[in-house]
Amino acid sequence: MSVDLPLVSIITPSLNQGKFIEETISSVLNQDYPNIEYIVMDGGSTDGTLDILKKYGDRITWFSEKDNGQTEAINKGLRLARGEILAYLNSDDTYLPGAVGTAVNYLTSEHPESKFMYGEGYHISAEGEIIERYPTEPFNLERLAETCYICQPTTFWKREVIDTVGLFDAKLHYAMDYEYWIRIAKKYGTLSFCQKYLANSRFYADTKTMSRRFEVHAEILKVIRKYYGRGHVPSTWIYAYAQAFMERAISRDSKAKIFVFILGMTALSALTFLRYNYTLPFSEFRRWEKWYADSVSHPGLRR
């Protein structure tokens, strides 16, 4: 491959991910694409991460200093990046072999009109075993309001996106990638879907998505209302928010608490509907009614 190929800048935000980060680094450095700038933005790790980073010498560029979290780290890395094509890879996720070359070819040769692309990916366990295919879907802006079907580590975009749309929203700490995909789609009208497997997204209890579910869903509700408007927040997100709130509020270790959980979730769902959707079409109410009925028989409640 020619070194004249476009430079790809990959940012990895990290904090105390010594358990996973070497696998992440290896997945980048072992790519067969020859023109990669790899930047690791560490938030001041104390778990041995720095010893791992030092091992790689000038093969990576890294900084370690306290920051305001993942979003700031990504933005700092993107400001330093020199590449024509950009991406970020979390410190517990990995690229599949050939991912970068596939992305470059897609954006420059196969679909040069595309500004942003995403591909297929897998959920993997903490041990690196494949759990399932990430539920990726072809792009549809309205469907994106209902579920984030874009697997973050499979995303790549051209520098023009940064110049036009800007960086990630520094006020967001959980849904910053989801908000970014929506913002880019609103600007360009579409996001390109490459039907090839590019990356693994690690799925385990300590991730922010799993351990901070209430905060995640609270941010998602704000993002959806901002970009799709009041009255257009889907029931899927409201139900998930209510469930996360009640799971945080009580433990489900007795039948009495299970009853309180279901009752509270129902009430909170209704109140959240009123907050985010001041008009509630009958069809939407029927969908909510079905989800509530399903919640009563949810496997996690039968103990």
Mean pLDDT of 199-218: 80
Question: Would you state the pLDDT for residue 255?
Answer: 47
Give the closest residue to 14 by CA, choosing from 80, 84, 74: 74
What is the residue whose two structure tokens read 């945080």? 248
Give the containing element (helix H, strand E) for 74: helix 70-80
Q: Three-state SS for 111?
A: coil
Q: Are 160 and 210 in contact (CB under 8 A)?
A: no
Mean pLDDT of 15-24: 95
Backbone φ and ψ of 175, nearest 5°: -110, 25
Q: Is the pTM of this model over 0.85?
A: no
Residue 208, pLDDT > 80, answer: no
Q: Are 289 and 270 in contact (CB under 8 A)?
A: no
What is the residue whose two structure tokens read 């690196």? 128
**pLDDT for 114-139, tens place per residue?**
999 999 999 999 999 999 999 999 99
Burial of 144 (0-12, 13-18, 19+ CB in 10 A): buried
What tokens were used for 181?
């995909």
**pLDDT for 84-99, tens place per residue?**
999 999 999 999 999 9
CA separation for the pair 48, 66 (Å, rounded): 16
Amino acid (1-letter code) at residue 266: T
CATH 3.90.550.10: does it fit domain 8-208?
yes
**Domain segments of the chain: what residues?**
8-208, 212-301
Give the closest residue to 155 by CA, choosing from 174, 173, 178: 178
**pLDDT for 39-68, tens place per residue?**
999 999 999 999 999 999 999 999 999 999
What burial letters (b/e) apply to 87-100, b meaning 16+ CB within 10 Å? bbbbbbbbbbeebb
CA separation for the pair 141, 6 (Å, rounded): 29
